[in-house]
Chains A and B, each alone.
Chain A
Amino acid sequence: MTDTPSLFPKYAGGLGAGPQSRPFIARHPSVLIFIACLALFTLCVTILSEGFGIGVVSTSFVKTLGKTLCLCMVALAMDLVWGYCGILSLGHMAFFGIGGYAIGMWLMYARTEIIVVQSLAAAPLPPTAGEISQGIATQIFGVVGASEFPPIWAFAHSLPLQLAAIVIVPGLLALVFGWLAFRSRVTGVYLSILTQAMTLALSLYLFQNDSGLRGNNGLSGLQNLPGLGDVPQSTVSIWFLWASALALGLAYLLCAWIVSGKFGSVIRAIRDDEARVRFLGYSVEAYKLTIFTLTAVIAGIAGALYYPQAGIINPAEIAPIASIYLAVWVAIGGRGRLYGAVIGAAFVSLVSTWFTGGQAPDINLGFYTISWVDWWTVLLGFSFVVVTLFAPKGIGGLIDLVPSPNRHGADLGPDAGSLRESEADR
């Protein structure tokens, strides 16, 4: 399993251009370009920010940008699972939300603990651990009429354990769900519907007051880092921007590394003709499960970085429509290419923020005023249809108009493959 760099350039000539023999980055210049753009972007925002720079960019916009980076990261996961492996999962925002809940539990616990300890310090007797825990529970769960910690909060006091939960819970859920679904060879639209059902079930469960996660109140106050009450939000926002950028960069590298190798070949082959891959001796289910779980973990991490910037998480964030929007971003950006997913998520979510935030100028038609707060969703829906019909490669497809010899990425969408398969079966 040793890598062969350019030791045998002559031999590579026999293979044609020998694309496999050059270093990873050289073979995939888009990765380098992406990382450079990301770094430049982060640097610019930092310089322009209120916390570390000249203050041109407001703290709330820094947060918006930081959140956008997290959305790009989950879009990356979506692209890997859908654009490369052909599994149209309508459940990845559920994993994203679980990641958010996992970190949110610790943030809320730790912050409430500080408040409770402060308030109990004035009491004549020093508080016992039980009293502190009781106080925290009353503070957190008073809103749903409970004063006891539900079992799922067992590890909320420990940052390392909750950090582990960010990875383990989405991963485990994806593993179990994926194992059940792939094992019984649920594919295509059936699988999409099943993942959507999973998301719906999860969000309905969380909406209950006795779910242990504060029902539809969700977790709030997550923007305040426990113990760092003195640090202004302008600084914290930049920290999170850095962390999000770093995570996105690492996720991009990981995804690019995965799809560039033989593993990438196999999953793209699964996307295009899963039966054929089986006859090649690959266990399709194991590969799908690997990708499904891996992307669920990436989504969980992205969620854990997103919600401290958003400040609040509630079950509506996990509703099926969120995952559908995720698919919309990736489709508009161009699936089957990693930068496409990132472009799509960034573009659509920022434009959405602009339109729904009321910043877009309304259009007065004389007899009717088009208010973008109301009409943006309509426009998005129809433009999505148009993209699906006329530009299946999405925005990322524009890059193909620039001629380049070193291009990786798919020309044929996942469905073009299923077309062949279904034809072969007729």
Chain B
Amino acid sequence: MSTLLEVSGVSKSFDGFKAINNLSFQIGEPEMRAVIGPNGAGKTTFMDIVTGKTKPDEGTVLFGEKSQSLLKLSESQIAQVGIGRKFQRPTVFEDQSVSDNLMMALKKDRSPWAVLRFRPAREDHAAVARLADEIGLTDQLTRKAGELSHGQKQWLEIGMLLAQDPRLLLVDEPAAGMTPAEREHTTDILVEAAKTRAVVVVEHDMEFVRRLNCKVTVLHEGSVLAEGSLDHVTANERVIEVYLGR
């Protein structure tokens, strides 16, 4: 298992408030990692930095075998090197059909000219169908995404992430607002995905994290408080103090 993403010494402050403070983080490929932490611990800012939405004040973010720095890349370039992100609230293109959403996400040449000439081939349809099957939306392919239920939108978004075929998947609270059955399905999808790639799940729900059964990183005040198995970190005094103790 080689290191895929290496974040080291990253800091970021907004108007004097240190959202991220000298954070260092590593993940290998394939690996599943859960990131937990109280509100304001810097989880979202951490993802913003990795995906290029926010530029850090200092520190380095390296990706892949060639240790490519992500700091100089734009959001779309970062996505193209193989980092996918799922937002906390489902953001799918509600005006378009499920298959359009998936087709857009398929890993293809993304330059305007290529996209302009693109007409889906048989294997593209097949790929969309396979993904739809994986996320359980085969019957909904022609429906507009806006008509889907909340959970279905979450899955569609995960499906779009998988369609991108990223090497690193950042997932922000995937199980929020789901029924227990939906949660189980979501867990399965994520666990399956983590077999071939790196997956970082930010989650509040301890039950969900426990079911993922993976290494856990605890963030607090913008830096790593503890790291290890869930049992290990929950036994940590400081973690109990700042997080579970609340």
Contacts and interface: CB of A to CB of B under 8 A. Distances in A.
Interface of A: 1-4, 7-8, 11-12, 14-21, 258, 261-263, 265-266, 268-269, 272-273, 275-276, 278-284, 286-287, 290, 410-412, 417, 420, 424
Interface string B94-116: 11110110011100001110011
Contact of A1 (B84, B91, B119): B119
A326 B60 CA distance: 48
Contacts of B118: 1, 261-263
22 contacts: A1-B119, A4-B122, A20-B99, A20-B119, A262-B118, A263-B115, A265-B93, A266-B104, A268-B95, A269-B104, A272-B93, A272-B94, A279-B75, A279-B79, A279-B85, A280-B104, A280-B105, A282-B76, A282-B115, A283-B76, A284-B76, A411-B146
A407 to B, nearest CB: 11
Contacts of A12: 125
The A contact surface, by secondary structure, is: helix
A258 B116 contact: yes
B129 A262 contact: no
A14 B129 contact: yes
B66 interface: no
A15 B125 contact: yes
Interface in B112-132: 112, 115-122, 125-126, 128-129
B141 interface: yes
A301 B8 CA distance: 54
A273 B93 contact: yes
A209 B153 CA distance: 60
A268 to B, nearest CB: 6
Contacts, number: 128
Contacts of B84: 279
Given A262-B115, A283-B74, A284-B76, A16 B93 contact: no
B210 interface: no
A380 to B, nearest CB: 29
Contacts of B76: 278-284
Most buried by B among A4, A17, A279, A417: A279
Nearest to B92: A276
Contacts of A278: 74-76, 79
A417 B145 CA distance: 13
Given A4-B122, A263-B112, A265-B100, 8 more contacts: A266-B115, A273-B93, A280-B79, A283-B76, A290-B112, A290-B116, A420-B94, A424-B91
B150 interface: no
Nearest to A21: B125
A279 B116 contact: no
Contacts of B238: none
A281 B79 contact: yes
A336 to B, nearest CB: 9
A16 B141 contact: yes
The B contact surface, by secondary structure, is: helix
A283 B164 CA distance: 15
A58 B188 CA distance: 72
Counting chain B residues whose Cβ lies within 8 A of the other chain, the interface size class is 35 or more
Nearest to A14: B129
A281 B164 contact: yes
Nearest to B103: A262
B125 A11 contact: yes
Contacts of A424: 87, 89, 91
Nearest to B117: A1
A276 to B, nearest CB: 5
Contact of A15 (B95, B121, B129): B129
A21 B126 CA distance: 12
Contacts of B51: 279
A197 B164 CA distance: 39
Give the 6 A-B residue pairs with the shortest CB-CB distance, closest first.
Answer: A281-B79, A278-B75, A16-B142, A16-B141, A281-B80, A290-B112
Contacts of A263: 112, 115-116, 118
Contacts of B74: 278, 283
A20 B87 contact: no
Most buried by A among B76, B87, B146: B76
A238 B85 CA distance: 57
B116 A261 contact: yes
A267 to B, nearest CB: 9
Contacts of B141: 15-16
A278 B84 CA distance: 10
A279 B81 CA distance: 11
Contacts of A287: 112, 115
B122 A8 contact: yes
A4 B120 contact: yes
Contacts of A275: 53, 75
Interface string B128-156: 11000000001101101010000000000
A283 B110 contact: yes
Contacts of A2: 119, 121
A6 to B, nearest CB: 12
Contacts of B99: 15-16, 20
A394 to B, nearest CB: 16
